[in-house]
Structure 1
Amino acid sequence: MATSWPLGVTLSFLDEFIASHGGVDAFRNLTTRQVNINFLLPLTATSKLSLVDQLTISCPSVQPARWYVSHAWPYMFLDVIESLHLFFSDKPSQEAIVWFDLFCNSQHTNTDFNSLTSIICRAITSIQRVVMVLLPWDRPIPLTRAWCVYEVYMTVNTASEFQVAMTQQETDRFADNVSVDAFFDMLAHVKSEASDSYDPQDKIQIAKVIENTIGFKNMDTMVFRVFENWMTSTLTTKISISNGPTQSIWQFKLGSLYQVQGKYDLAETMFVNCVAARKLVLGEEHPDTLSALSHMASLYKAQGKYAQAESILEQCSQVLSRLKLHDSPLGLVVADTLAGTVQCQGKYAEAETLYLQCLAEKKRIMGERHTSTMLTMGNLASLYQAQGKYEAAKPFYELCVACSIATVGDDNPNTITLKNNLAANLNYLHDYQAAEALYVQCLSDGERILGKDHPSTLTTMNNLAANYYHQHKLDVAEALYEKCIAASKLVLGEAHPHTLSAMNNLAALLKDAQKYEAAEALYKECVEMNTKTMGPAHPSTLTSMNNLACLYERQGKLNEAVTLLVPVLERRRQVLPGDHPSLLNSIRELGLLYEKLHDFTSSEPLLIEYVAIQTRRVGPHHNDTILRKRSLAEHYCKIKNPQAAETLLLECVEGAKITYGVDAPETIKLTNKLEAFYLDQITKSLELKEWADMAQYIASITSFGKTNPLSETTRKEVESLRLQMPMGTPRRVVKSLA
């Protein structure tokens, strides 16, 4: 019976095979490998052929295969047969002809690796349909076996149809337990590089094939997409064959799956349908209806539709409070999501109150290390970070990452998100190398597990580009930003907050690269889109306006810069804490801008305010405090207030000695600045014949020189100026003061 099409056996033949060899009891608790040893090898001992080849001439059960069966030999053989029966139960009988390696390959010859891969490749290429026996569904054994991984590789490579077969028990367990957390958990336990084989040499050879073609990272991505498609197809089928409350359950599950896949439009359709069905059948205040509404609000938040999300969550919260379910698991989910939503709108004080209340309840009810508690703690850390409280956020992030790794593993998408947030924190704390290492790891894991265009992956890509920018790796950062923006526009849309964030970051890079026209166009687009999408007072809108103002300043367009910065500062005072870095930045920038415009009346209170806040916030000896005091001292010199300038310069030198060291270049530079100030004041006093002032400054620099050795040039200049004073009273003043 010669044919180029791979031959298989009918499903009924498998039943006959079991019946003719002692029935079900004879096969109970036997793996496929044991069935081979106990039955197949003795049955084909004489011919040394595969059972299919041995039966071909006379057996009508041997026919061209319609499905390729992928399974793991450690499986219980009866589980494999049951899974196939269930899979073919709704299909025509002529479909139930399978290429099953136990029966289709000779078990007597040690087929070399190249021959075996050729057999698999030829079979899958010809049949074009693969059914994988998946047991258990959330810890799929086939994906830990090298040959099964290779079969998935061939399935994708040949664009073949892929389906899954499970036992009735496993099918029921899938229906009961499929969820976002279960999906994430499954992804976290799949790593093709770690797959094993009965023959270690096979594992080595398969690894070489994958490494030399697509690589393990892309292999895992392929596997995940195949299983995502299978889950989506399975849930879609469930929806189509059900109705009423049951259908709404499947809609909810599929909507949740779409959301974590970043397919927001499809998720919205599912949630809208689910909510409508539950309102009709269960009522508007039923907990299941409220659960669907809260998930829809979470989706709106992910889409950047913050006002819609907040409105829904407020309604849910009110109903849950009235039903005394505010501290139920659903009530806490609603509270946490509401806190995150108001945070995204810049309402930080309100968000903090909600987070703290939610965190306290979760600790009381679920425990301090519960996954849900850690989620809220991580969200609270993100709020502190948004408020500029980077040191306060760091220990929360570190604890959340450690707990997530311990509970759900390193490769779980939730762990990856937490690692990304910790990296962002390190970036804000200027630990750029540590942040880069973590970002690179997160990006690699995100691309492998979630996909290159997933919203979470794009967020990490944007953050890594920002990290490169801060390290002055401008070319690398620019290329990554452009890649991120293109993908983000495609996946999330041009007006999505994540897209605008990447555009704003790229504009900052273009500004520093002196590509001013391109930067200005991008900043203006960001301001316009942020204002339209999130409102004129939203932190993202204000950041874009602030950045555009800084660009105008660099271009010498000072009045245009002031026009932008004045409302930015006013709005930031309204929505940000008094010591937020963004608010401080606006105070400093506007103060310096006014000074450049010689509007000293407007600049002075802003510069004084900035120095006062920084002194209180980071201390009088902090690098930024010292530098800003120096700027304020220079301002006082310009407005002819030498006494105030002298006080600040003396503080700068003393602070520099503590912070940098007595002999540090920074300290020497500030010392020279103070010496130059004194010499300038002495010279001016001499020219104006203000002898008392001259005597005072000579005495001051002399006193300063006792603890801070003056340069030889300064010492000689002071002595020369002293000798130019008239005889009499002024000299006696100098002597008494000294």
Structure 2
Amino acid sequence: MATPSAPPDRGLRLSYLRHFINEHGGEAEFAGKTTAQVCFEFVVPLTKPSELSLVDHVANDPMTASFVGPANWYVSHAWQYLFLETVDSLERFFADRDLSDDAVLWFCVFNNNQHLASSYPFEYWSTTFKDSLAAIGNMVMIMHPWNDPIVLRRSWCVFEVYVAVTMGARFEIALAHDQEATFLSDITIYNAFSKMLATIKCEDSVATVPSDRDGIFTLIRAETSFIAVDRLIFSTLTHWIKQTLEASIASASSSLEKASRWRYLGVIHDALNDHAASERCFQAAVTLFLAAHGPLNEETLLLQSLAAFARAYQRTPQSEWEPRLRSTLSTALQHLGETHPTTLAARSNVVSSLCHNDAHAEALPLALEDFDVRRSLYGLCDWRTMSAMSTVGLVYVSQHEAYRASRWLRKALGLQVTHLCREHNDTIGTKSRLVDALLQMGDGVQARALAESVVASRARTYGATHPRTVACRINLAASVLMTGDAALASAQMLALTTTLGADDPTRLAVQLNLGVAYAMQAQWANALASFIDAFASAPCKVTAWLLYGFAVHAPLPVSKKGLTLVRDFIISSSDAQPETWPTRCMACYTPVTGTLRPSRLMRFCQHDPKETTWKMTLPPRRYFYEADLCATETAHYDDIDGLFAAYERHCDMHNDQRTLDAFLAAMPTPMLSRALIALQDLVATPDTSLLLDWPTIVLRRAPALASTMANLRSLLPLQPSLSAVAVSGTDLVYLGPLAAMTTAMTVVFCSDQTTDLAWTHWVRDFGRRCPRLRVLEIRASVGDNLGLIQPLLDILAYPALRLLSLRGDFLLDVASIAVLHAWLERGGDRGLRLDGTQFADAADPLLYNALHTIRSFVEFRVRNVRGLSWLLPALRSASQLRTLDLSGHGSLCPNAIAALLPHWPHLQTLDLSRNRFDSYHDVVPLMSAMGQCPMLRHVVLQQCKLPQSVISPLLGCISAWPSLRRLDLACTGLYLPARAFRAMVTALVACPDFAFLSVCFPLLTDAMWRDIVPTLGAGLLRWRRITFSECQPTAVQVLQLLRRLLEHNQQAFTVTCGTISSADALQNEYTGLLHELGLLPPPRASCVVAFEVEV
């Protein structure tokens, strides 16, 4: 029976290997035999009598027992290796270290009992190897061939490296003499080192027994990682490569051979990111080649380019390397030609150096040129062309053209995976650049998958703390953060902070991302600390604006502290682009200017975007302007005006009127209330027909009412577009901040007070202060009879102007009509209103022709104009007409209007108010013609005397107008009985957009009022104006209506309540009502109450 195998701490001396060979016939008998063959042909037969391991067998023989001793080196090798190569590797390894006499080897072929090996389970072998190596403490691995070691394809050999890692054992490698010669020959092949790194991946190893592989992998994953195992091999093999090259330099027989070795050693240092060492090596080679071949030799030029390239990658001043790079490229082009490999390499080095030093615009044309030349020379599938493609992608990434970069990088990556391999250094580099592009695009999911594989490869090749690995780890954490896993991202970035030194430039990106991760988890204090640390370490626009972006949305007191720091920085620093964020749009990749809203992220959002409310963020400087303006509750108006003027100048300087408009539309209560009071002397009685669709507060000639309305405004949010009235020449400064909100303006033109020059200056100031003006009404003061040639030339220059109204005794001559015609021909939606205007005799046909030729004419309002019958037929060609206002003409022929209506299929507003119809009998056919205009939205028949017979066709028309919004039947003499009123309301409630109703009642009693409100039903909840003419509701009745509106309405609305003879009566009648408003429930949503009282 065989006895147990020798204890793992016993082994055979190195000298026994040569004794063993000689005892079995010398090297000739072993030539070409693998270790496995030697085992079964020599070891097993030798130990057959004792059935012991060879170590035990030798120890039991007194003649050979001296070869046995305590093992001090554990040998790891593959049984596929040639036995003589293994012996040669070990003899060379120990001889180089002067350990030949002391080395006692634990060699599995000799130490394990080969007669019982097949009967032992996995647990026995794993324990044996682990215990033996742990006790010995030194391991040497045989690496054949040097660039694709067979030993690393065997799982048991990988297991031995794993034990070395977990036990902290010394790990060395040994190569045979012929392998060193092969290495020195192979290393001259470009990319040989990168190809070698790509082949080493222990996770791809195999075992003869598949269950052994599974057991080994389970142990490795439980106690360490394949990355750690690979890293130990990489570092050891890299050390051997550098040592071997340095030794070959010392022993080189010629200066050219020595120069060549310096070059390849520089390439190794460059691949390891040690650019200072690579520059030293390249410069040494340059010196030797210059002496041997002069400055125009291809090798000299290549090495000069490489030395400058290494200098550039150390981030030295551009003047220290760019001239050398460009000079070398120019010389190579001149003496070697464009397609010579040295020229190609020199151009590539220029591109890479420029990119590394952020000169991307200079690099792009050279990169594209380099790719074109390489593609024409080598085709797409050559590694040199693929590398050029990847470089082009890198340049586009650096220029923030992510979509274009991703196309280049995806193409390059696909080719590199196919023709190089997944783990090749070039492939991993391209994959890393693609991660950058995906992060710019906001695609965190794809970026994360790629980043994980890149980090694993970089950590295995360079180590976890190498700069290349750290950069990839930062990208991985950023992609994890972008996918929403803030907890994991913060853990990854905390691990990075312990790795990076306080002065490491990459630490800033980690701190900023960590702040974002904390903020996503509502860890406000930690987030603030991270952003402040980043700002303190690098106080610049990037860190300040990111701190602001966090603080402006954080809760108090976190936000206050952060905003204070940012405000101090903004005040103390200059910024030529205060509206431009230090970030780029995810759709077009240009710098974001103005208000920031990350809507592009919704494309990659994993949750339902309908449930997401994105926050909008003002640039810091504008935020502080608006914060100061909002904090002016007790400030004097002059102070407010000064603040607003500063803000207005800022917005004008940076072409940002829209933001100013948005701020004014949401202006805070105290500031707006004082501005409203300041307006009271300017506001007169505008034509409310211009204001129907705008939430509006109109202040009439009652100062007491103005203050009361301001009190009402303080109860409810207000977002008005204002209509203002001013006398020409009035100082518009009194409009204050409300000027920018003004979209409609009435100007009372006084010829006796306004010279042409003064008018011109006033108009220009008016246009600057009211840039949103779309509706302009010019009124002639009483007694004026004017031509408007010069004023029109200035007024019609406003770009936003779409509707012009002339009211009063204006005399339009030929020149005035020409100006009007030119304005109408500009295109777009144009409208013209003439009220009381007179025409010179020669102007009539000109106006007719002007109206007849404008096909896109959309709005025409004519009141109190003589000879309207000759003008209306000119509008037959205005097929786009949407508004026709013939109110106040006095007398109209219903049949003439009915005949024209079919020509205007898009008509939306028809106003025939204050007209006498020639015959009641013609009104019913007119009503029928109106029923054929399905797009009508506003029907105004106010003060038209209508017969009761039109009630039935009118109710029929309402059902034919699905978009009806306003119906005005006030003062028509058409009195609706309760049944007819209910029928009308029922029809109007079916119109989803209906909002304004004016009807007539002979008497409005409390009983009838109580009946009206329920009758309106659901329609009342969306209606915005109800006018009860020829009656006067009491304050209690109005309060009942307002209470219902406030309880349910979510839009603006207006209540107009008849007429009152004096301002005093107005104030007395409604004072109690306005006090009662304080008892009303708050609105369910932001809405506007515009309480208008006609005086």
Provide TM-score, normalisation by structure 2: 0.52
The whole-number CA distance in structure 2 between the counterparts of 1:507 and 1:289 is 50
Which range moved further: 693-702 or 100-109? 693-702
- Is 1:6 the counterpart of 2:10? The answer is yes
Q: Distance in 1 between matches of 2:305 and 2:1058?
A: 82
Contact 1:134 1:141 in 2 (8 A): yes
1:291 is matched with 302
The yes-or-no answer on 1:173 pairing with 2:182 is yes
Please name the residue that 1:582 is paired with: 591
Counterpart contact for 1:607–1:632, Cα < 8 Å: no
2:47 to 44, 47, 71: 44
Is the contact between residue 507 and residue 519 of structure 1 (CA under 8 Å) also seen in structure 2?
Answer: yes
- C-alpha displacement at 1:401, in angstroms? 1.5
1:555 aligned partner, one-letter code:
L
Checking the alignment, whether the CA contact within 8 Å between 1:239 and 1:251 is kept in structure 2 is yes
| Cα distance in 1, alignment partners of residues 744 and 138 from structure 2 | 98
Q: Supply the AA of the counterpart residue of 2:445.
A: Q
Map 1:572-721 → 2, pairs under 5 A: 581-582=590-591, 584=593, 589=619, 592=622, 596=626, 598=644, 599-604=647-652, 606-607=654-655, 631=659, 634=662, 709=993, 716-718=1023-1025
Residues 225 and 296 of structure 1: CA distance in aligned 2, closer, same or farther (over 3 Å):
same
Cα shift at 1:447: 2.5
1:210 matched to which residue of 2? 220
Residue 252 of structure 1: aligned partner:
263
Q: Secondary structure at the match of 1:94?
A: coil
Do residues 71 (structure 1) and 77 (structure 2) align? yes
Higher helix share: 1
Correspondent of 2:57 among 37, 42, 54? 54
In structure 2, what is the Cα distance between the partners aligned to 1:36 and 1:517? 66
State whether residues 276 and 314 of structure 2, in contact with CA within 8 Å, keep that contact through their aligned partners in structure 1. Answer: no
Report matched runs for 1:342-491 at 5 Å.
342-471=354-483, 473-489=485-501
Distance in 2, Cα, partners of 1:112 & 1:215: 24
Larger Rg belongs to: 2
The Cα shift of 1:294 comes to 3.3
* Shift, 1:73, TM fit: 0.8
Aligned to 1:135: 144
Q: Whole-Å Cα distance in 2 between the matches of residues 8 and 511 of structure 1?
A: 63
| Structure 1 pair 250–706 and aligned structure 2 pair: CA distance change class (3 A) | farther
Helix, strand or coil at the partner of 2:74: strand
- Of 383-392 and 285-294, more deviation after overlay is shown by 285-294
State the partner residue of 1:658: none
Residues 43-192 of structure 1: pairs in structure 2 closer than 5 A: 43-56=46-59, 57-59=62-64, 62-64=67-69, 65=71, 67-88=73-94, 90=96, 91=98, 93-95=100-102, 98-110=105-117, 111-178=120-187, 181-192=191-202
Give the match's secondary structure for 1:716: coil
CA distance in 1 between partners of 2:314 and 2:500 (Å)? 12
Query: Structure 1 residues 229 and 324 mapped into 2: Cα distance closer, same or farther (>3 Å)?
Result: closer
> Shift of the alpha carbon at 1:199?
3.2
Matched residue type, 2:563 = Q
1:257 Cα deviation after fit:
2.7
**Aligned partners of 1:502, 1:306: CA distance in 2, in Å?**
26
Structure 2 distance, partners of 1:209, 1:256, is 37
Asked if the contact 2:73/2:136 (under 8 Å) is kept, the reply is: yes
Q: Which residue of 2 aligns with 1:555?
A: 563
Give the C-alpha shift of residue 79 in structure 1: 2.9
CA distance in 2, matches of 1:153, 1:4: 18
Determine the C-alpha separation between the residues in 1 that align with 2:128 and 2:178: 33
- Provide the rounded CA distance (Å) in 1 between the counterparts of 2:650 and 2:174: 74
- Alpha-carbon offset, residue 104 of structure 1: 3.0
Counterpart amino acid of residue 270 in structure 2: Q
Name the CA distance, whole Å, in 2 between partners of 1:224 and 1:453: 15
Q: Summarize the Cα distance change of 1:692–1:281 in structure 2 as closer, same or farther, 3 Å threshold.
A: closer
Q: What letter corresponds to residue 59 of structure 1 in structure 2?
A: T
Q: Deviations over 1:413-468 (max 9, x none)?
A: 33223222222222222222222232233223332343211222211222233334
The 8 Å contact of residues 545 and 581 in structure 2, kept in 1 or not, is answered as no
Paired residue type of 2:84: L
Distance 1:242 1:333 in 2: 27
| Corresponding residue pairs, total | 653
Structure 2 CA distance, aligned partners of 1:459 and 1:256?
Answer: 21
Task: Report the secondary structure of 1:440's partner residue.
Answer: helix
Distance 1:442 1:706, change over 3 A: farther
Q: 1:538-593 deviations in whole A, cap 9, x for unaligned?
A: xxxx64576577679872666853775633579999xx9xx752264699848956
Bigger shift: 688-697 or 79-88?
688-697
Alpha-carbon distance in structure 2 between the residues aligned to 1:589 and 1:337: 40
| Paired letter, 2:203 | E
What is the alpha-carbon distance in structure 1 between the residues aligned to residue 247 and residue 24 of structure 2?
A: 37
Contact 1:552 1:560 in 2 (8 A): no
CA contact (8 A) 1:255 1:266 kept: yes
Q: Measure, in 2, the Cα distance between the counterparts of 1:686 and 1:188.
A: 72
Supply the AA of the counterpart residue of 1:378.
S
| TM-score for the superposition, normalised by structure 1 | 0.74
- Quick one: distance in 1 between partners of 2:463 and 2:994? 64
How much does 1:404 deviate? 1.7
Q: Is the contact made by 2:173 and 2:236 (CA closer than 8 Å) also made in structure 1?
A: no
Match of 2:207 in 1: 197
CA distance in 2, matches of 1:411, 1:47: 49
| Structure 2 residues without counterparts, runs of 5 or longer | 1-5, 553-561, 597-617, 627-642, 668-674, 676-692, 694-717, 726-740, 749-774, 778-802, 806-830, 832-858, 860-881, 884-907, 910-936, 939-961, 966-991, 996-1018, 1028-1053, 1060-1095
Contact 1:511 1:519 in 2 (8 A): no
Q: Taking structure 1 as reference, are residues 504 and 301 closer, same or farther at Cα in structure 2, changes over 3 Å only?
A: farther
The 1:351/1:251 distance shift into structure 2, 3 A limit, reads same
* RMSD over aligned Cα atoms: 4.7
Higher relative contact order (CA 8 A, sep 6+): 1
Match for 2:156: what amino acid?
Answer: W
Shift of 1:107: 1.1
Tell me how far apart the structure 2 counterparts of residues 173 and 592 of structure 1 sit (CA, whole Å).
68
> Aligned pair in 2 of structure 1 residues 213, 633: CA closer, same or farther (>3 Å)?
same
The question of 1:328 aligning with 2:340 is answered: yes
**CA shift digits 1:178-215 (9 cap, x unpaired):** 37833332332233233222333433332333233213
Give the structure 2 partner of residue 305 of structure 1.
316
Tell me the distance in 2 between the aligned counterparts of 1:269 and 1:402. 36
Work out whether residues 137 and 170 of structure 1, in 8 Å CA contact, stay in contact via their aligned partners in 2.
yes
Provide the residue aligned with 2:686 in structure 1. none
